[in-house]
Amino acid sequence: VRQLHSQSKTGKDGGDIWLSILGDVFDVTTGRDYYAEGSGYSVFAGRDASPSFTTGNFTKEGSEQDLDELTAGQLVGVDGWRKFYADHETYKQIGVLCCDYYDEDGKPTEKLTTVWERLATHAAMKKEKERAKASAAAEKDL
């Protein structure tokens, strides 16, 4: 995966539009109507605005919110959007963004590792709740 540094890929003057979510960079130029300057989702263009994907705060300040302030459920939402872009038919991942989530060598930072750990813990807790609920329902049927 190519290592990308902060670049102004906001679609200005008809140029490419890139966005980053959890440090994964996607070329969303084909979605110019959504992401170009003046559009509803322009806050995502040319930066990593991970928190905005789940908080709905589409301002510069909202895009810079610390992920530690988000609930585990909100992080699941952020990761869901990352998967949306990763699986999208025309939006292609083109690299990773240095330096919040990936270091200069393209390796995950402690910040990204913490996000993954929080997501894994949330998934395990959800699975345990579902197992307990199924077990209680089975006991009730006895």
Instruction: Convert the pLDDT of each residue in 94-137 to its tens digit.
Output: 999 988 999 999 999 999 999 999 999 999 999 998 888 888 87
Can you tell me the distance from the alpha carbon of 70 to that of 54, in angstroms, rounded to the nearest whole number?
Answer: 9
Mean pLDDT of 59-64: 90
Q: Which of 55-64, 101-110, 133-142 has the lowest mean pLDDT?
A: 133-142
- The pLDDT, as a whole number, for residue 2 is 53
- The pLDDT, as a whole number, for residue 3 is 52
Can you tell me the distance from the alpha carbon of 12 to that of 14, in angstroms, rounded to the nearest whole number?
Answer: 5
Average pLDDT along the chain: 90
Is the pLDDT at 93 greater than 60, yes or no?
Answer: yes
Mean pLDDT of 45-55: 93
Is the pLDDT at 138 greater than 90, yes or no?
Answer: no
Q: Residues near 100 by Cβ (< 8 Å), separated by ≥ 6?
A: 23, 48, 109, 111, 112
- Which of the pair, 6 or 62, is modelled with greater confidence? 62
Can you tell me the distance from the alpha carbon of 67 to that of 112, in angstroms, rounded to the nearest whole number?
Answer: 10
- The pLDDT, as a whole number, for residue 4 is 54
Is the pLDDT at 7 greater than 70, yes or no?
Answer: no
Is the pLDDT at 90 greater than 90, yes or no?
Answer: yes
Instruction: Give the number of other CB atoms < 10 A from CB of residue 115.
Output: 22
- Let me know: does 11 contact 45? Beta carbons within 8 Å: yes
Quote the radius of gyration of the chain (alpha carbons, Å): 18
